[in-house]
């Protein structure tokens, strides 16, 4: 089953610096105020490559971003440089307009966010970036699985019984 790509902390689109992807001849850059410096560096490094850019913020209407992406021609690479929330939003709109992960590079200015999908209460919630186990809002202890579900937009969280509780139950 095809699940449309979403931006997550292990997304293959995440980069530290932009490079021209194979077969791409143009760049379409979506950036927020925090990414301005990186965009200027990008323009300098790729001054032979035709580039269109759109400054976005959390107040930018989705339609404006969608139109910008839809207007781009075949062979265009989408570059997103922004803080996580704006990048996430722009990424999903670009995908809605038919962009694939192979055509997108994403540079995050702050930190990627990470989400877990609880196999007990079936809800998705944000988790710290470095924890291997967390407690869900339903109080279940969850092991952060290696599998990211594009459908659930989070890592699959497997319920487990912590050692302390196991001892209580067992005695």
Instruction: Enumerate binding residues for Zn ion (CB under 5 A).
Output: 118, 120-121, 136, 138, 140
Beta strands in 8-140 (DSSP E): 26-31, 51-55, 76-82, 104-108, 114-118, 124-127, 133-135
CB of 10: closest distance to Zn ion in angstroms? 22
69 versus 136: smaller Cβ distance to Zn ion: 136
Query: Strand, helix or coil at 134?
Result: strand
Q: Which is nearer to Zn ion, 65 or 116 (CB)?
A: 116
Nearer to Zn ion, 87 or 136 (CB): 136
Q: How far is the CB of 142 from Zn ion (least distance, A)?
A: 7
Q: Which residues pair with 70 in a beta bridge?
A: none
97 and 118 Cβ atoms separated by less than 8 Å: no
Q: In the bound complex, what is the minimum distance in angstroms from residue 121's beta carbon to Zn ion?
A: 3
Nearer to Zn ion, 104 or 136 (CB): 136
Nearest approach, Cβ of residue 125 and Zn ion (Å): 8
Give 76's contacts (C-beta < 8 A, 6+ positions apart).
24, 25, 26, 27, 28, 103
């Amino acid at each position: 089953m095809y699940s449309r790509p979403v931006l997550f902390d292990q997304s293959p689109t995440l980069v530290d610096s932009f490079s021209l992807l194979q077969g791409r001849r143009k760049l379409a850059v979506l950036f927020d105020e925090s990414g301005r410096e990186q965009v200027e560096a990008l323009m300098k490094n790729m001054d032979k490559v035709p580039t269109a850019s759109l400054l976005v913020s959390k107040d930018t209407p989705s339609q404006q971003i969608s139109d910008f992406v839809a207007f781009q021609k075949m062979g265009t690479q989408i570059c997103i440089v922004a803080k996580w929330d704006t990048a996430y939003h722009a990424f999903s709109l670009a995908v809605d307009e038919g962009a694939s992960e192979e055509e997108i590079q994403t540079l995050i200015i702050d930190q990627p966010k990470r989400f877990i999908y609880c196999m007990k209460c079936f809800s998705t919630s944000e988790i710290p970036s470095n924890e291997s186990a967390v407690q869900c809002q339903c109080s279940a202890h969850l092991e952060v699985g290696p599998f990211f579900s594009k459908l659930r937009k989070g890592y699959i969280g497997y319920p487990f019984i912590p050692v302390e509780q196991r001892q209580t139950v067992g005695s």
